[in-house]
Structure 1
Amino acid sequence: MGRRAECQRELAGLEVHRWPAYLTERSGLPGPRADIELAQAVADTGDAALFDRLIADGDEYLVFCGVIGLGRLLAETPDAPKLEPRLRAHAADERWRVREAVAMALQRLGDADPARLCELVAEWARADDPLVLRAAVAAICEPRLLKTPGAVTTALDVCATATTWLAGLPAVRRRDDDVRTLRKALGYGWSVAVAADPAAGLPRFRTLAEADADVAWIVRENGKKTRLAKLLPPS
């Protein structure tokens, strides 16, 4: 039995009102790494009422679990108009684990309905908010989701749009934490998208304007990733 399945079994044996205390005790926090498999098991087995309760609690790990759960609901409920705006709001949370939960939630949507994820991240990529842009990049730049030409094109488009947005910011704005968070995501996202389809991705990656200091950093960081470095000529 895998770790996630084991967590599902343990949760099934608990009354739901005991879940928050159980999750807090086994969260792995404070510490360097939260228990992601446990959080995914919560998302697999919980319901909307539980996810709302976890998010309302405010505890970082409980919110993390609840937000991933919203992704499962979004994947299962195509006509749920309130879920996408909630996830978009959480994408701008000041806590990085909550922002990561949004990416995981959207990836659940991508597993169930790739076309719908592509539509959603394309919309988010038009936002004037670096953290929403970061969520779009982090969600779609996942190797398991980039199995079709359409998904790869979306990932490349999202990376390109976010990079252009970043390059258009004044220098003083680029020092802000939210912008640096976006830059960090672009520092690996391009390599994931390009490696999924080098024929489509490499020409676009090579057009990035390295005269801009932040874009040059993005190019260098992606070039360090093994998945992309092996596709580039020796420097």
Structure 2
Amino acid sequence: MINILMIEDDPEFAELLSEYLSQYDIKVTNFEDPYLGLSAGVKKYDLLILDLTLPGMDGLEVCEEMVQKYDIPIIISSARSDIADKVDALALGADDYLPKPYDPKEMYARITSLLRRYSKAQPQETAPQGDFEMKGDTIYFKGEALSLTPAEYEVLSLLVKHQGMTQSREQIINTAGTMSIDSQGKSLDVIISKIRTKLGDNKRIQAVRGVGYKLV
């Protein structure tokens, strides 16, 4: 599950976004008070969604303090349309800026894109993730190296890196650049079936109806 810290003084807006993101195994914890958000144990969160117009403290100040104290991706979510705010936020260290109003689908896309880039930027020393371990371009399952095609490797590596989190079909297809362009949906189902066979366990990769797949 992805844990997101949100600092937003509009509780209805925060609730709507939280409900939408929950279908993708994303949990949003919102604080209307920026001071509470800053003291909320930031290290346990994967990403921060930050409004700029906040009570008692400007969002740019919160952004600056977060960047100085923590290593966490930051998406600014603000109705302030002044280009100077966007420039200042990015200059302070924010990673993205999404003007309100926006479709929750776009926020979801930006969250997954940012976390994917952020993960790639981290040291690539791969600790075992349950029964799975990634070393270079090889994936091990219960200590045994898996013989995977390039497409199977791309799909399984994405699921391993986000174990326990649902990956949409679109995410998987966009990540797996070697998949067939003509019949991506059908190709993905075939690849998943082949991976399950190679794992010898049909229950490790679960289909999430109407969304995609997740590794458990």
Normalised to the residue count of structure 1, the TM-score between the two structures is: 0.28
TM-score by length of 2: 0.30
Structure with bigger strand share is 2
Q: Which has the higher contact order (CA 8 A, sep 6+)?
A: 2
